[in-house]
């Protein structure tokens, strides 16, 4: 695997507050161009493509029956399923209020999406949006794995936000636990009072936890208070 910079920002891509310079990754299948999307020029066609990319990967890299069922849907049923996710991804990427959103996309020579990483300030936990970077979606097509592409996209997204956020949080498929834990992530601890409040709050929205999904966190700024310590003091979480 070889990584090298373009040495200048591509005019096709525009960052918000935390720019990541475009770079290339050499793989056995060819060179991939990795860069941020142009948030001001996101098209319906792109949203459709990125949604299909994520859903296809998620439905094959899991043991969750809900995702496995996606592969058995009829064409019309799959369209309804994708429409829901298209709305979600479209609204997230176009949300100008979340200036720390980062969407990295890796494309091959034919402009096909082969990898992508979406992150932004955590919105699912009260008081977390401005102290916790949430890794929403991360995937690489099977033919391009083994080249550190997922790790590079994840680390560059975290590094671009390391002076903004104190911690990183993600809800990952259990089958991917090994990947994330090698990169310094750990499970939220139900035996810790503050972390338990976060777990209980998010679990209400995630019926796939804990059987199929893990709640993982990683420190960015050691000297700052942990995100779950701050969020656990919120009145909404006190009632959970």
Per residue in 165-215, pLDDT (tens digit) is 999 999 999 999 999 999 999 999 999 999 999 999 999 999 999 999 999
The confidence score (pLDDT) of residue 236 equals 79
Q: What is 2-239's CATH number, 3.40.190.10, 3.40.50.300, 3.40.630.30, 3.40.50.1000?
A: 3.40.630.30
Per residue in 129-159, pLDDT (tens digit) is 999 999 999 999 999 999 999 999 999 999 9
CA 13, distance to chain mean position in Å, is 19
Provide, rounded to the nearest whole percent, the portion of the chain with pLDDT above 90.
82
Q: For residue 217, which of 173, 176, 180 has the smallest C-alpha distance?
A: 180
Instruction: Kindly report the pTM of this predicted structure.
Output: 0.91
What DSSP character marks residue 195?
H
- Segments of the chain assigned E as strands: 2-5, 23-27, 30-36, 102-107, 113-121, 132-140, 167-173, 186-187, 213-219
Q: Coil, helix or strand for 225? A: coil
The confidence score (pLDDT) of residue 15 equals 58
**Residue spans per domain, the chain:** 2-239
């Amino acid at each position: 695997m070889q990584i090298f910079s373009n040495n200048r920002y591509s005019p096709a891509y525009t960052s918000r507050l935390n720019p990541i310079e475009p770079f290339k990754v050499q793989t056995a299948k060819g060179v991939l161009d990795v860069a941020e999307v142009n948030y001001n020029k996101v098209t319906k066609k792109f949203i459709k493509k990125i949604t299909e990319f994520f859903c296809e990967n998620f439905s094959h890299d899991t043991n969750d029956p809900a995702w496995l069922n996606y592969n058995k849907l009829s064409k019309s049923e799959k369209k309804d399923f994708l429409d829901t996710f298209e709305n979600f991804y479209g609204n997230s990427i176009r949300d100008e209020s979340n200036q720390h959103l980062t969407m990295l996309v890796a494309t091959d020579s034919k402009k096909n999406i082969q990898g992508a990483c979406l992150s932004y300030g955590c919105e699912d936990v009260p008081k977390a949006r401005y102290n916790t970077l949430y890794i929403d979606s991360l995937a690489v097509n099977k033919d391009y794995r083994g080249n550190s592409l997922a790790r590079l996209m994840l680390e560059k997204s975290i590094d671009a936000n390391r002076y903004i956020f104190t911690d990183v949080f993600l809800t990952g498929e259990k089958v991917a636990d090994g990947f994330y834990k090698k990169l310094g992530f750990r499970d939220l601890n139900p035996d810790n009072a503050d972390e338990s409040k976060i777990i209980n709050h998010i679990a209400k929205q995630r019926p796939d936890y804990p059987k199929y999904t893990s709640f993982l966190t990683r420190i960015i700024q050691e000297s700052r208070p942990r995100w779950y310590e701050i969020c656990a003091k919120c009145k909404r979480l006190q009632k959970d």
